[in-house]
Chains A and B, each alone.
Chain A
Amino acid sequence: MRGALRDAFLSALVALGIFGPMVGLVSTSGDHGLSLQVRPIAVAVVVGLIFAGRLLILSWRGGGPRQRNLALAERVARAGKYITPILLLAAIALPFTGSRYYIDLGTLVLTYIMLGWGLNIVVGLAGLLDLGYVAFYAVGAYSYALLAMTFGLGFWTCLPLAGILAALWGVMLGFPVLRLRGDYLAIVTLAFGEIIRIVLTNWVSLTNGPNGISGVPRPTLFGLAFSMDGGPGTFGDFFNIEPAVIQRIIFLYYVILGLALLTNWVSLRLRRLPLGRAWEALREDEVACRSLGINVRNTKLTAFGIGAMFGGFAGAFFATRQGFISPESFTFMESATVLAIVVLGGLGSQLGVALAAIAMIGGLEALRDFLSFLGDQMNSPVFAGIASELPLYRVLIFGIALVVMMVLRPRGLISGRTPSVALTKLKEIAPDLVAESRS
């Protein structure tokens, strides 16, 4: 116990050095330029938290060595059988709540789930760390917006085109760089993502630059538009109901649900086919793959291209839902968010990705709501204050979660691997055997 106290005290000392200047001394702009504002209480709170946290961790860790993950992986995999249909039913039923807020949130979460599943093909299955996934999302969004507004094409015509264009970009970008080692590949894809964003910002004649493109057309249901005038050929007119904004919102929700499920279905199918198996083999050992006659570059390209295609689909959906796109929406932060979801969910696990997206996108929103609700109910400005500040901390929490996840469970929430085929009985594979490429 004394050792723990001493350790915690040292941690607090380090925390004081780290947080003291940054939290305690804030540069604020006043009348005469910048000046320092001193915040001793904030520092005391942070350092106190670190002290207490360290003490807690130390006393909790005393409970014995960590258990193997296999039992847990088996249990989660078994629970997954029940969780999956429940989640699916909940997703289908969500619009029946009729709450615009929940449907919007659901749409957002589903967009991230779809992006996560798309990136999962690249990172989780093929083991290629792509830090520029947002580039394909951007290509899809801009492809749809520009095609629709220049040539007057509809959403359903443009959707496959946007996907194909994004895939083409993926293959084009991937071709020269996919032979690079894992971490170099990560940096290069990041650079590509940034280049695309900078070009979108500066190529004003095509993209309208930082001001973005507004008035992106909305999708139709078999040619029925969701317009508010209720004129002939609209959804309201055809079904003889009063046109309302919520109809379009619900329609968009089901579109993204369908797209996400398509992504999921294709990934699951591919995993059981030679291509998907080759992706996973590539993740395990590239050199062995080569010795077995697998064309490593082409196999990587297919993963990159297919992942990019789903990113493109999601981008087209994003453009049509927002009705407005600008380079602002396609920053590195977006790539990092999707990566965080994939990593937290468990590289390669479809259910894990969905759960992580729900927790990270939906969970934080829910927390904010809950806090502001508490603030309203108790008339307490503290909760309301935290609630309004919470979005600021969202990305900070992402960052911390990534680090904590890597340190505690580097293979994510659902970390075991389900074999793609079995002679007699499928047995879950323990995460510590599933390796990234060792070359």
Chain B
Amino acid sequence: MSRNLGFLFLILSLAICQAAIFEPVSDKHRSAALHLFRPVDGSFGSLEESYESLRTFEILGVKKFDVSQSTCPLVVKTLEASPTCSKDLFDALRVNRILRCEVEADIFEKIASKLQTGIREASSLLDFYYGVGSLGLIKEQSPETNVQLSDASTTFHSIKSLSQSDGRWLFSFGSVESSTYAAGTVHPGLALETLAGVISLASSELDQSMIGAVKSDIVKLFDSTERYDDGSLYFDDKLLDTHGHQGPISTTSAVVRGVTSFSAVISGKLNVSYQQLLSCSLACLLAFVVLCEMTIKFLLPGELLPGDKILGLARFFLGIGVPGNAKDLFTQIDSVACLEDNKISIPLILSLPATVLSLTKKDQLKVKVNTVLGSSAPPLTVKLVQAFSSDKKEIPVLENQKLNVDPESSDHSLDILSSNIDIGKYIFSFRVVLHESENKKIYATGGQTQVPIFITGFINVDSSEISILDSDLGSIETKQKLDLSGKTSLSLSANHLQKLSLHFELTTPHGNSFHPHQVLLKLSHESKVEHVFLVGNSGRHFEILLDFLGLVEKFYYLSGKYDMQLTVGDVAMENSFLIALGHVELDLPQAPEKAPRPPPQPVDPSSIYGPKQEIIHIFRATEKRPPQELSLAFLGLTVLPFFAFLIGLVRLGVNLKNFPSSALPATFALLFHCGIAAVLSLYLLFWLKLDLFTTLKALGFLGIFLLFVGHRTLSHLASMSTKLKSA
């Protein structure tokens, strides 16, 4: 027993952490609906889309778009074509229910008789669903049409025969697969809706035992609910991807529609309240649900759903918030509307417009209790059962307070200021007490609701000072007062033998000590190496003593300027601050060889990216040359000796008397000198334009020629001179 109690306590404490607030459908949904369902060319598109849009607007009470002009012809056309037991027909009838287009009565007659035969021949659950659903819609739209199912009992049986022992449903006769999908957890919902339709259309009373069997199916179905931590219940379809997308929202929605419509037709037969059973002061919803489940399983099998299951489903749909797509918004709103006026129990949602209350602004604690669609609840009182601080869970700060009702807005409020509650994080648990005992059977309030409340206020910061102490003596070197509310720019210096001490006090508006979650002192070196210290406290005094001698290794022996930054912050503190205190110049010893290196710091991306410095190639400088005039002057000088040579020759009186006089040697001599002249000119040409190969080629020919004529000329001259000598 004690173990059980311990377990219960564990669940309780878990539930306390997981308390959450759900808001009923509000104007946010309306504006979202207006945003998501926008008629294009006066129509919402297909019949299904039209139905979803129209139904959403109908529930939300928004009358903005009139689409009957464009949609009605489509509806009438579909009705006239009247396919049997089809989705199109079903959608058309659903749209028509809202739009009330002008449809002739005999069309309904025709469809109804077709549907009746269609249902008799139907083989799959969907055929039944559309057929029965369509008939139900016809009954509603044209009351004079005969829509009664003469063999309702048989139909009921054939549908029921699809149900499996584990609460699942087969998709069609002979279908082997009985996955939650193929019959689908969608389809239990559809099946229930169909069965509900069959009962309402039945011409004669149906067998109660069959209805009882369906009830037990529903109970089994609810065994497969899954729950979120905040107490919301949902149905999940496990085999999703094999058959396309059926998220928990649409799956749960189908179940809600099925169960509520089924309960509506056998109204009053399903409702069992377990409130009395559980009034034994169990504090939280979770325990409540756990016990309910136990009760269902072990005590009262065969009976149906407690109100808290319904509340859990309502919480699931409201917990979605405002969906971002049209399909989900429709599903949410439609399911919530089903829950709003269901016959099992109507969920009441306790919501708080604000859970962050400021003492400075003198906020009041306000609580609203509404139905899921936001309409007002029956007369009731909201009681604050207890409120305790989230740190000290054993001592409640407030107990058993009744909230005042504002008759105009029907808000329930509590004055926090007068209740002398200090700032901090609290958990309030509320209980809704209905005034009339009859209502207790109709409405589900979910027992106690736990809500985390933050009470914020202004924290006083006092007697803050910073000082540098001498290590050995403890004598104070420098001491400076700090103003932590404004700006400070300290400039301190210390060496490794000294200590730095920072001290301040924090008090709440009620004069109590206050321990913020974040009290950090950060020292950051010029090289971006940061060190964070937690500032400890005793009571309201906060103090940190940094002994640099013990920190040199942690500081990686990095001397230099350290910027000091103090951060004090808490959820309950309205004046959380981050303040740059200034800097301290630290003189630390040289790092020994094996000292740890500071960790690498992330590089600034702008230093990696960005254009590089341009590079211009520096060409080799051309050699220095003398001025042109100088060169030309020297050219003149070099030519001068030639002229001097010529003049010298003339002065010496040279003659050409030795030139051969006879014709042949004279010709050879002439040719010889012309050859020499040609070779020399070739050299000139070589300089001026020719290349080496042309020059050598020409020189080769000229050389042979010169050799020949030179030999003849010189041998002639030699023979002449020997003749002369011998003579």
A, B in one complex: no
Partner-A contacts on B (CB < 8 A): none
Partner-B contacts on A (CB < 8 A): none
